[in-house]
Every structure is written in structure tokens, then in C-alpha cells.
Homo-oligomer: A and B are copies of this chain.
Amino acid sequence: MRGNSVSAENDISSDISSKPRHVGNDNSSHGHKVEVPRRNNLLRDFSATTKELFFHDDPLYEFKDQPKRKKLLLGIQSFFPIVGWARDYNLFKFRGDLIAGLTIASLCIPQDIGYAKLANVEPQYGLYTSFVPPLIYAAMGSSRDLAIGPVAVVSLLLGDMLKNEIDPKKHPHEYLRLAFTATFFAGITEAGLGVLRLGFIIEFLSHAAVVGFMAGAAITIALQQLKGLLGVTKFTTNSDIVNVMDSVWSNVLHGWNWQTVVIGFAFLAFLLTTKLIASRNKKLFWVAAIAPMIAVIVSTFCVYITRADKKGVNIVRHIEKGINPSSVHQIYWSGPYLAKGAKIGITAGMVGLTEAVAIGRTFATLKDYPIDGNKEMLALGVMNIVGSLTSCIVATGSFSRSAVNYMAGCSTAVSNIVMSMVVLLTLYVITPLFKYTPNAVIAAIIISAVLGLIDFKAAYHIWKVDKLDFIVLLGAFFGVIFKSVEIGLLVAVVLSLAKILLQVTRPRVALLGNLQGTNIYRNVEQYPNARKVPGVLILRVDSAIYFSNANYIKERILRWLRDEKDLNEKQGLPNIEHVIIEMSPVINIDTTGVQNLEELHKVLTKRDIQLEIANPGPVVIEKLKAAKFTDRIGHEHIFLTAGDAVAQCAPRAIENA
């Protein structure tokens, strides 16, 4: 029984048959036929594709129908969002920003010292990176919650890759120059991607890959901190877990310094306790936020009183006083290190970008404000370019500090300005006081910070939802902890792409059945009640048909045919005389796809089976027509719906149902 046939008789619109560009069977639903969209010319086609690829966010939308003056203002505003929100700024907002800024400053200062160590540079460079870049970002960035500065993973990646080129202990000056060169190119990369609107490139790192990569990097960083935490002097420079654990155990008897161990673990316990408190009660987030600063103050005081540094407790010893010196003349503008710096910078810049954009988007969704990926990249890029000229290493958005910033009630990027000012003050006034800060406490602060990067909840969620994604996660994770951060990153990207290609190569070809009493056809695996139509094989191809899967799809269809034939013979059912391919999900088809469809048609014709096509989409029908496949198969074998096709091929089967 056909649901649609009842109303069909009343409804056949008389005007439709006069339209020219129709393809398909005349008996289609209510006189509707498969339509072939008017073919665009090549230029329009090309410009449409380009628009979707590069300008999908319609960046000029706001400029439409505006007076010239307004357009100019909007133009300035689009590069400097600060111009937009500064006019609405008020004391109430400033109160939130001030508290948030002070909180993240107290969190960032000890972290900066630690992250500078991860990058194998002196502590002041970490602080420099929390002074200049946040100011640039505040003017140019569109996120209201991002806290800018050096971050653990990027600093580790930078340190790891720089170390492979220059030994930071033997040639500290050249190492530093290469670090600034890399930072410069990180900025160029980020700004370049933004200006060229190639931001979509970072989408190729999947969420699962990022979760695995971050967890691996966190463990790697935490393990490296064992050096500081245990006071071990001879320690591997490799970052993989095997070498690090080997260093820890081979020093277990004579290499550890018990005073350091006591200080380190005491403060680690303190920091983790404050974190636990904060996670139990969200209102107490500030306890965890100021704990690192307290740990630094208390431990520095203790060491100063007891002079524990004379008993083998390592201390920071020296931080240069004063603000960022210029580093314009330090960057390698030529020579072999230019290319090496560029390579390192591109990698570090991309990772920094991925992190900042992900964090920015998360908070933008929470507060529902728009964030423009490409403009964001430009802001981050300019910030790192300026940073590289003022003695900074690569800066980006920090996940932990951004979260604190958000919870402390920041409302604009002014919190970054406040933080920057506090860092300025620190650089001018307080740095000498850090002299007695024990390295073990810095190590404890880094460990407690990076543990937050291990997202068990996300990993469990991924495991539950998508096993293949979980494999990508594990690949990135193990790549980082057993080899290195770069290898882990490479594994993450390759696995992410391989996952897409795998799905494109082996798409599903589903067997459809009729839902009783309707004209609807659905996958019999999903709908066990859906009934097959005798003599007709109805298949749905669940993917675009491309060169990479066209042959598989053809063979899979022939396999379905063979299996159904075997089944029919066993059950004494009639032979299959029609194969209906429902093409709704086929978004696109390429020349190889059309060719395989033609081959399928030939093979079926030889076997006296008629091929029918149901519901081809606009692109598909256009290409089938261009390739003259529609002529070869015959327009009467192209239907608007699978139901129409069945009604035509097996009218009796339907009536008996």
C-alpha cells in the first residue's frame, strides 16, 4: 500500500511538465521529477568554492549597507576589537577584570619561570613573554577570556626542537638567538594563516588527537620535573619515558638530595590539595589560583632562613632585573639557522594556534559571543612577531590560566593588561627576591599545572562514543611519551587524516527495506521491521562516490546482489530483476565514480537486471547528465524517491504488502 498514492491523484500540478530541465521518470511522486540544477559557468563555480573555502564566515557581512564612515570604523574595529568594546567599558567591568588580572598574574609568574626552563632559556624570558604579548593581544584579540603567555606544551616543544639544533649549555647565546628566530616565524606562520584565511588547516588536528597529545605532553613534562623535584644532578636530556625513568632510578641511591625531596613533595602535596579543594567547590577556585604564589613566597623564605641552598638544594639563583630588552638584532635574518628557526617556528606556531583557538572557542561558546578564527590568528601572529623582537619566546593562550580568568569574572581583555602590569612591576621590583626560590617548588608548580592537561573525562567520553577516535588518541599519547613531542604531533596528524581517508575508502552500502504502511525505505540493519521487496534489491550508497571508493562501491553492490541471489534461491523467492540505488547521501561523484557506475550498468545489463537511480542530488545529477549516463541508463529509470522506483518496478509487490 502506498501512502503517497492517495493524494497523488488530486495533486499532479499541470505547470510542472512545461519546465525544461527535468530528468527522470514521468510517474514520479505527484508529478515531481528529479531536477537538474541550472549549470553555473566555471567562474561562478570556482568563486563559490573559493568563497566557501576561504570566506565561509562571510567576513564582510557587517559592512553591507552601511554608510562609509561606519564602514571605516568597522574596518578599524575588525583589526582592533578594542576600539569596539572600549566605548562600552565601565567601572563594573573593570572590577571583574582587575580581580581576574591579579589572580592570573599570581598564577603566571611562577609558571613563567618554570616554562622558561622547559624551553631551556633563563627565567626572565618567561616573564618577558607575559609582559609584551598580552598587551598586543588585548588590542587585537577577539576572545574575552584568553589568558596570554608562555604555556607548558609549546615551551616543551620549542625546547625539544631547539635543543636538537644547538646545545643550550654550550652555546647559550646562539640558542637564544635561534629561539627568537623560531618565535618570529611562529608569529609569521600564525599571522600568515590568518591573512591568507587558511585557518581551516588547524582543523585537521582532531579533538581526540589533541587530547592524547596533551596528556602525553603533560606526562612528559611532569616526568622531566622529577629532576628538580628529587634534586638529581645527572639527568637525561631526552624527553621519552624510558630515558627519564632510567635517569630517576639510576640515581635513586646516591643522586637524590633529601632536603630537596622534602621541600618538593611538601609543596606538591600542598598544591594538589588546593586543587582538590577548588575542584570540589567551584567557588574556591582562587585557593588553587594563588597557591603557587604562596608556595613560592613560603619556600623562598624558608630557604633564605635555613640557607638550605648550601646543603645541596638548588635555587633559582638569578633573574635579570628590568623589562624586555630589544632582540631585533638577535634574530637570524640570514644563514643556515634562518631555515631551521623557520621550521621550528612553523611547528610551534601551529601548535600554539591550535591551543589558543580551541580555548577561545570553548569560552566563546560558554558566553555565546562571536569569535573569528582568522582574525584571532592574525592577532596571535602579530603578538608573537612583536614578542620575538622584544626577547619573548612563543606565547599563546594558556588553558589553566584562561579557566581561572573566566572563573575570576573577567569581562574583557583588560584582565590581560592588568596581568601584564603586575608582571612589569615584578620585573622592576621583585625579581631579586626570587633568588632563593628552590627549583623543587618551581618543579612542583609545573607538575601540578600540567596534570590539568590530562583530561580523563574527555578520554573516557571518546572511548564511549568513537573507538576509532580513541585509537587516534592513544597513538598521539604513546607517540609523545615513548618518542618525543614532535613525533607524537606527527602521529596525531597522520592518524587524524588516515581516519578520514579510511572512512572515505570503505563507505557503507546499506540494504533498504520498506517501513510497513509507508512509502519510506530504511536500512534493514537499523530497522529490523523494514521489509525487503521481492524481485527488487534496494541499496543506499552512504558516501560521495570518489576514485578512492568507486571500485569498492561497485564490488560491494555486486556482492549484495550475489548474497541476495543465494538467499532467494534458498527460500524459493523470485529472482532479482531490478537494482535500485538510492543516492540521497551521495553528495558528489567524480569521473572515476561515473565510470564505475557505467561499468555496473553494463554488468547488470548483461545479467538482465535493470539499474534504477533514486533521488540523485544536484551535483550528482548534473555530472551524470554531463557524462551522458542519464541518457545511457534512460531517463525513465531515474526517480525522485526509492518509493517511486519500487512502485514502477514491482507494482504488485507493493500492492500485496
Contacts and interface: CB of A to CB of B under 8 A. Distances in A.
Given A4-B4, A29-B518, 18 more contacts: A3-B6, A7-B517, A11-B518, A56-B555, A56-B559, A200-B552, A203-B549, A206-B547, A206-B592, A207-B591, A465-B591, A465-B623, A496-B548, A500-B500, A520-B641, A525-B618, A542-B587, A584-B585
A16 interface: yes
The number of times this chain is found in the oligomer is 2
Interface in A485-509: 496-497, 499-508
Nearest to A37: B526
B466 A29 contact: no
A526 B496 contact: no
Contacts of A10: 517
Nearest to A506: B52
A207 B592 contact: yes
Contact of A515 (B30, B58, B464, B497): B30
Given A368-B606, A526-B37, A544-B503, A4 B465 contact: no
Contacts of A200: 505-506, 548, 552
Interface in A27-47: 29-30, 32, 35-37, 42, 45-46
A365 interface: yes
B594 A465 contact: yes
Contacts of A196: none
Contacts of A606: 368
Contacts of A466: 590-591, 623
Interface stretch (A117-125, A259-267, A343-351, A595-603): A595-603
A621 B518 CA distance: 21
Contacts of A548: 200, 203-204, 206, 496, 500
Interface of A: 1, 3-4, 6-8, 10-11, 13, 16, 29-30, 32, 35-37, 42, 45-46, 49, 52-53, 56-58, 61, 200, 203-208, 361, 365, 368, 461-462, 464-469, 496-497, 499-508, 515-520, 523, 525-529, 542-544, 546-549, 551-552, 555-556, 559, 562, 584-585, 587-588, 590-592, 594-595, 599, 602-603, 606, 617-619, 621, 623, 626-627, 640-641
A365 B551 CA distance: 12
Q: Which of A3, A555, A603, A641 has the most CB of B within 10 A?
A: A3
Contact of A467 (B42, B61, B542): B42
Contacts of A206: 546-548, 590, 592
A504 B504 contact: yes
B502 A53 contact: yes
Q: Which of A466, A505, A591 has the most CB of B within 10 A?
A: A591
A617 B551 contact: no
Nearest to A585: B585
Contacts of A626: 464-465
Contacts of A516: 11, 13, 30
Contacts of A361: 551
Nearest to A587: B542
Nearest to A203: B548
B587 A520 contact: no
13 contacts: A11-B518, A30-B516, A32-B518, A56-B506, A56-B555, A57-B559, A206-B592, A207-B592, A208-B592, A466-B623, A496-B548, A504-B504, A508-B587
Contacts of A462: 591
A65 to B, nearest CB: 10
Contacts of A497: 501
A33 to B, nearest CB: 9
Nearest to A54: B506
A594 B206 CA distance: 13
Contacts of A46: 467
A361 B600 CA distance: 12
A523 B622 CA distance: 14
Contact of A56 (B464, B556, B585): B556
A415 B309 CA distance: 89
A343 B224 CA distance: 38
Given A30-B517, A32-B518, A542 B207 contact: no
